[in-house]
Structure 1
Amino acid sequence: MKTLLCLCLAVYTAFAVPLENEKRQYSRFIEFPDGEGNPHTVDLEEQPDMKLVEDELRNSNNQYLLFTRRNSASPQTLRINNANSITSSNFNARNPTVVVAHGWLSNQNTNPNPILRNAFLRRADVNFIVLDWRRVAASTYPTAVAGVPGVGRGLGQFLNFLNRVTGAPFNTMHLIGFSLGAHVVGNAGRELGGRAARVTGLDPAGPLWHVNSNRLRRTDGVYVEGIHTDGGTTGLGIGSAVADADFFPNGGKSQPGCSTSLCNHNRAFELFAASIANTHLVGNQCSNMLQVSSNTCRGSRLVLGNDNLNKRGSGLFRLNTGRRYPF
């Protein structure tokens, strides 16, 4: 009972602590898509299922699925506190480690996992690890939001274990999350003390996150990047700066060739995947969000995305893209 009370207080605090003056006016009921693109009605005022969240903290059901060039189609399951599951796998501590976390109502088989796995493994032989957190992600949206910090901490603890078992350095780890998954990897990076080389948030989820202290932030990694593609007033993305460098393709609210919020939201991982193989997605630094919106950014240039573990940059960046791959 004491643990449950602490959890409830933590969730209340997470929702009550404002990070900035920005206000976003969502209706109580919104439409939010699952990993297959099917819309679901979400009640943002629904109480989270704290029993499920507490149970997940006690008995994590998250899966860590490894893909390499030796097993690019069939994953190997890595288990925390089971060194043999790692040493007997194809994990190679000399290669970079890329971790991807999906969003709400998704799993290992839904995007962005396959599209990013293919992009990275075509580029180099990396340890590509998919975090499948479907048990919490398959719950109501407010419950999934409440579960994000615990899932993220669990991922951070797993990466600490991976480091102890194999010696894989934190400065070769790149954590990537889409939508709710962006806040998951932010919490994972926080658990690692900000030592991961890169943390990338692909259109970090907006509903219930604008004044949530557990959201992705710039101290979660050595270099933290946000890519915002659906940040309109009622968009699925957070739409505001959360990282060292924040990119706003086409202004960050609507994307060429898109007629739905879902399309805008998904464009974040599509652009990022394109950036792994291409170098033409380059933003200009902006002085403020007015310049972002009016497309008058003329500052220094920084490439969006890519797989460079030593990448650095800070500020707001705008770029304009095409309608289809490679954009």
Structure 2
Amino acid sequence: MKIFFVVFSLIFAIANSAPAEDPENINPKFDAYRDTRLLLQTRRNRLEPVQINFRNENSLLASPFDPSKPTRFLIHGWRQDDESDISTETSLVLLNHYDYNVIFVDWSLGAGTINYIAAAGRVEPVGFFVASQLNWMRENNFVNFDTVGIIGFSLGAHIAGHIGKNTNGLIDTIIGLDPAGPLFAERRPDGRINTGDARYVECLHTNGGLTGAGIGAAICDADFFPNGGSSQPGCLLPGCSHGRAVDFYMESIQRNGFHSVRCDTERQASRENCNSGGGQWFGGEPSNSRHNLRGIFSFRTNRNPPFSQGPWLN
């Protein structure tokens, strides 16, 4: 185990707000099927999420869920909950621009512990839980996998990968926002987000490197490394650079100006020394699945919002 893992755990725990009580003390034996919540928001209930019961037809029929519309799943990371930006802010940004079903995967009873190792061990069962729900929804004509996208941050990115690995057919898009690095080895694609988990898998790397919170490796169909992929302008702590992945994704929905340059290697991307052409944008809706995008990309951002420097995607 790398020494930096201990440093990472302490810094990241301090840099991110924690619940008043550690859920580990409340629920020491986390059960993904019992303790994970699926919270639905649509344009009909933007500010009042409705909980969907697991594989329960009456629960879905009584909710604002509309099977005719695309569905997006949002998944938080370590020490986060249903009040984190990947939930509250990202869902509102999506609904302000698109008429979607947005389902937030709240696994905070598993993620809230200060024990990162315990939280990381809960990634796979949460993925199984959501995949089982998705398979059931498809079998009962509530979703079409061609119009499903999953966006996960940090440990949530690896949950998204496990969802894709366990669905009965490929969903359209998975986007990993700075997938967590510690305990998720590049050489073990079966345990993390990876190309092949969906029809199209895109990853954004904002805090990789030796001391980073992210995996920092090209593991997806398309991998974007803003500002070299290790630290972000305007950030002093790793937690800030890690969290910028969510900020960049939200801005890509609102005004996509994250125009990138293609790189031949990760090394080029880390040094911001890419000159192999460009013309692609990170994130946004609809996803780059429609372009069948593949490769490694780099772009630069501003220190403060708006972060993107353009040109803007029409």
Which one-letter code corresponds to 2:279 in the other structure?
R
What TM-score, normalized to structure 2? Answer: 0.87
Q: Secondary structure at the match of 2:126?
A: helix
What CA RMSD, in Å, does the superposition of the two structures yield over aligned residues? Answer: 2.4
1:316 to 281, 296, 301: 296
Residue 293 (1) aligns with residue 270 (2): yes
In structure 1, distance between residues paired with 2:168 and 2:232: 35
1:207 to 182, 185, 191: 182
| CA-to-aligned-CA distance 1:78-116 (integer Å, 9 cap, x gap) | 112211110111111111101001011211111221121
| CA-to-aligned-CA distance 1:5-47 (integer Å, 9 cap, x gap) | xxxxxxxxxxxxxxxxxx966354532535972489xxxxxxx
In structure 1, distance between residues paired with 2:245 and 2:255: 15
In structure 2, distance between residues paired with 1:78 and 1:36: 31
In structure 1, distance between residues paired with 2:214 and 2:257: 24
Q: CA deviation at 1:286?
A: 0.3
Which one-letter code corresponds to 1:264 in the other structure?
S
Distance change >3 Å, CA 318–CA 116, structure 1 → 2: same
Q: Secondary structure at the match of 1:218?
A: coil
Residue 172 (1) aligns with residue 144 (2): no
Q: CA deviation at 1:179?
A: 0.5
Q: Secondary structure at the match of 1:155?
A: helix
In structure 1, distance between residues paired with 2:260 and 2:48: 36
- State whether residues 285 and 300 of structure 1, in contact with CA within 8 Å, keep that contact through their aligned partners in structure 2: yes
In the other structure, the counterpart of 2:4 is 26
In the other structure, the counterpart of 1:43 is none
In the other structure, the counterpart of 1:282 is 259
What TM-score, normalized to structure 1? Answer: 0.84
Q: CA deviation at 1:166?
A: 3.6
Distance change >3 Å, CA 236–CA 247, structure 1 → 2: same
- State whether residues 161 and 193 of structure 2, in contact with CA within 8 Å, keep that contact through their aligned partners in structure 1: yes
More off after superposition, 310-319 vs 65-74:
310-319
In the other structure, the counterpart of 1:304 is 282
In the other structure, the counterpart of 1:20 is none
Q: CA deviation at 1:175?
A: 0.3
List runs of 5+ in structure 1 lacking aligned partners. Answer: 1-22, 41-47
- Count of residues paired in the alignment: 295
2:249 to 272, 283, 296: 272
Matches within 5 A, 1:74-113: 74-113=48-87
In the other structure, the counterpart of 1:253 is 230
More off after superposition, 231-240 vs 212-221:
212-221
| CA-to-aligned-CA distance 1:135-187 (integer Å, 9 cap, x gap) | 21123211111111010111111111222334310110000100110001110
Which one-letter code corresponds to 2:12 in the other structure?
P
Residue 229 (1) aligns with residue 203 (2): no
Identity %, equivalent residues? 34
In structure 2, distance between residues paired with 1:36 and 1:276: 26
In structure 2, distance between residues paired with 1:158 and 1:56: 15
More off after superposition, 145-154 vs 303-312:
303-312
Distance change >3 Å, CA 137–CA 205, structure 1 → 2: same
Which one-letter code corresponds to 1:292 in the other structure?
A
Residue 160 (1) aligns with residue 112 (2): no
In structure 2, distance between residues paired with 1:228 and 1:217: 14
1:196 to 167, 171, 180: 171
Q: Secondary structure at the match of 1:263?
A: helix
- State whether residues 55 and 136 of structure 2, in contact with CA within 8 Å, keep that contact through their aligned partners in structure 1: yes
In structure 2, distance between residues paired with 1:118 and 1:34: 26
Residue 218 (1) aligns with residue 198 (2): no
Q: CA deviation at 1:325?
A: 1.9
List runs of 5+ in structure 2 lacking aligned partners. Answer: 308-314
In the other structure, the counterpart of 1:70 is 44
2:120 to 145, 157, 171: 145
